[in-house]
Amino acid sequence: MDARFLCQTRSPVPSLPRQKRACKLKHRSPVLAVLTRTPDNNMTGEEKKASHPTDMLAGLAKKTTVYNDSWFAKLAINYLSQRFQDATGMRNSKRDYESLTQTARDTWRKFSPTQQHELVLQSLNRAIPATISTLVKIMLPQCTFTREYFAAFTTLFFVWLVGPCEVRESDFNGRKEKNVVHIKKCRFLEETDCIGMCTNLCKVPSQTFIKHSFGMPVSMVPNFDDMSCEMIYGQEPPAITEDPAFKQPCYKLCKENRKHSMQCSS
């Protein structure tokens, strides 16, 4: 009764409905305040500019691939990591894929590109006995079936190393073959976040090992923009001096501070 009397004394009767609406807005204001802070459209240009770097970093963090490795994948990862550590003579206390990437970082920092290639080759030779690779080379000579077999085998048994991948078709000597492995987002490149480690610790030694051990030439073509990669079985890779992968500048946020292109020319 007192509140109604005050409203009448301050203004004529027509103002009474407006007073009621004002009271309703007061009760709803906390909700409105929360809503107005959420949409980006309500931000000024300066606010958007200030928040842009943080938003970019948050977006990158959200896009990082999370792997739930099976017991078999962990067994394979740790086995390869131990062979890598045996070859380099450097140990670390990490486990699973983190152990593998830590060994890669230690190798990248300590050894020259040529030494890096040799150490990875030693690791792969330790991991896969020569009797197995020789048997594969004899039983699977270069042909359409072998190239397609290698592509299918890679997508089935090496997801733990490179991430999800699929077989794709290409033109090979005037005919269609399913000899290409498309890696959607390379796990090794994503984890190391270093172009130099990709080229010197993965691309070059892997191409060399697969050709010399299994008799199968393969060209690995990484895309450093989206971190995808294609393994083209049956295709000879270009020389390092002519390979576009070695002309790619380092990532702007690379923590290693070493120019991979300069290393390769030394």
| Residue at token pair 């390769």 | 264
Query: Do 136 and 199 belong to one domain?
Result: yes
Query: Do 78 and 28 belong to one domain?
Result: no
Asked if pLDDT for residue 85 goes beyond 70, the answer is yes
Query: Do 156 and 103 belong to one domain?
Result: yes
The more confidently predicted of residues 261 and 226 is: 226
Residues facing residue 228 across a β-bridge? 223
Strands, sheet with 218-223, edge to edge from the N-terminal-most edge strand: 165-172, 175-183, 228-233, 218-223
Residue 64, domain member (yes or no)? no
Burial class (CB in 10 A: 0-12, 13-18, 19+), 179: buried
Rounded Cα distance between 80 and 96, Å, is 10
Of 252, 235, 50, the closest CA to residue 147 belongs to 235
Asked if pLDDT for residue 51 goes beyond 60, the answer is no
For residue 39, name the pLDDT band (cuts at 50, 70, 90): very low
Q: Say if CB 260 and CB 112 are below 8 A apart.
A: no
Rounded Cα distance between 207 and 221, Å, is 11
Query: Do 35 and 80 belong to one domain?
Result: no
User: Which pLDDT score is estimated for 63?
Assistant: 66
Query: Do 12 and 129 belong to one domain?
Result: no
The more confidently predicted of residues 24 and 182 is: 182
For residue 251, name the pLDDT band (cuts at 50, 70, 90): confident
Domain interval for residue 8: 2-56
Residue 139, domain member (yes or no)? yes
Residue 62, domain member (yes or no)? no
Query: Do 158 and 197 belong to one domain?
Result: yes
Query: Do 161 and 44 belong to one domain?
Result: no
Residue 68, domain member (yes or no)? no
Asked if pLDDT for residue 252 goes beyond 90, the answer is no
The average pLDDT across 230-239 equals 97
Asked if pLDDT for residue 35 goes beyond 50, the answer is no
Q: What is the dihedral of CA 89, 91, 97, 101, to 10 degrees?
A: -60
Query: Do 85 and 26 belong to one domain?
Result: no
Query: Do 188 and 127 belong to one domain?
Result: yes
User: Which pLDDT score is estimated for 249?
Assistant: 83
Query: Do 166 and 245 belong to one domain?
Result: yes
Query: Do 30 and 80 belong to one domain?
Result: no
The domain tally of the chain equals 2
Kindly report the length of the chain: 266
Residue 130, domain member (yes or no)? yes
Percentage of the residues of the chain whose pLDDT score is greater than 70: 71
Residue 229, domain member (yes or no)? yes
| Residue at token pair 């199968």 | 216
Give the largest CA-CA distance in the chain. Answer: 105
Query: Do 42 and 101 belong to one domain?
Result: no
For residue 46, name the pLDDT band (cuts at 50, 70, 90): very low
The more confidently predicted of residues 66 and 18 is: 66
Residue 63, domain member (yes or no)? no
